[in-house]
Amino acid sequence: MTITLKSAADVAAMRIAGRLTSEVLDMLGAHVKPGVTTEQLDKLAHDHIVHVQNAIPAPLNYAPPGYTPYPKSICTSVNHQVCHGIPNDKPLKNGDIVNIDVTVIKDGWHGDSSRMFVVGEGSIAAKRLCHITYEAMWKGIQKVKPGARLGDIGHAIQTFAENQGYSIVREFCGHGIGQKFHEEPQILHYGRPGTLEELVPGMVFTIEPMINVGRREIKEMGDGWTIVTKDRSLSAQWEHTVVVTDTGYEVLTVSDGTPAVPAFITG
């Protein structure tokens, strides 16, 4: 396993990429309303990243082994779509929930973050899923400090979500990130405390749990990208990019519009 550790200068560069990533989400949030299409959101994001930020949308033409090049600049996963939803011309409607996942490359460094948005007025069940998934991501982030292990993160997320009656998607995980979009290590969102790699300062990775109301099983759609829940139950995801510091963690994907940190973090 080769985990690249980032220097202080590397982290400073990733802080900039992370802020730009989060600012794209801030900008898009104002446009998420009934009637807007995810393709319109994609164009807004693409133009902002390329022409305002002078940066690169990492998803566009991204082609890991076994995949066809990803055709858009962001991922938009609606309702029972788990992740990697491809923006299209279907308007969002009142009550939909949508995950928008943005990855920006600035000066060669990546920032990767996603948020849930409720379109118009959501049901209690939909809002609860989005809220619990946000807290689950933070239960994982809270574990990040030197000496902790990756299994501690996965365990915290899994137990929290399962205690709420939800299930954790296992086929996709968080990942190391830096000059590459996806690096080692994998960050599983389930697991056992005290297992797997020990965290050391300078590690940078994402935490991005995908949580389903129903069963954890998923399937891939014919487009080769979009992942949906097998039972068509609602699914949610949040994602931050974090660095392990000497004393704990720093979230890199922050901007003026970043949602408030849960009370169990701030005390």
- The Cα 177–Cα 190 span in angstroms is 20
DSSP SS3 for 221: coil
The residue with its CB nearest to ligand MF3 is 59
- Interaction partner, residue 59 (Co ion, ligand MF3, none; CB < 5-8 Å by kind): ligand MF3
Query: Measured from the CB atom, is 18 or 191 closer to Co ion?
Result: 18
Q: How far is the CB of 267 from Co ion (least distance, A)?
A: 28
Query: Measured from the CB atom, is 103 or 266 closer to ligand MF3?
Result: 103
- Interaction partner, residue 62 (ligand MF3, Co ion, none; CB < 5-8 Å by kind): ligand MF3
What is the DSSP secondary-structure string of 68-130? PPP-SSSEEEETTEEE-PPP-SPBP-TT-EEEEEEEEEETTEEEEEEEEEE-SSPPHHHHHHH
Q: Which two tokens stand for residue 124?
A: 């209690």
Q: How far is the CB of 175 from ligand MF3 (least distance, A)?
A: 6
Q: How far is the CB of 247 from ligand MF3 (least distance, A)?
A: 26
Query: Measured from the CB atom, is 97 or 173 closer to ligand MF3?
Result: 173
Query: Measured from the CB atom, is 176 or 191 closer to Co ion?
Result: 176
17, β-bridge pairs: none
Q: Which two tokens stand for residue 150?
A: 């990756």
Q: Phi-psi region for residue 60, left (φ > 0), alpha (ψ -120 to 50) or beta?
A: beta
Query: Measured from the CB atom, is 22 or 206 closer to ligand MF3?
Result: 206
Burial of 145-175, coded b for 16+ CB within 10 Å and e otherwise, reads: ebebbbbbbbbbbbbbbeebebbbbeebbbb
Q: Which residues bind Co ion (CB under 5 A)?
A: 101, 112, 206, 239
Q: Which residues bind ligand MF3 (CB under 6 A)?
A: 59, 62, 70, 75, 84, 101, 103, 112, 206, 208, 225, 239
- Interaction partner, residue 42 (Co ion, ligand MF3, none; CB < 5-8 Å by kind): none
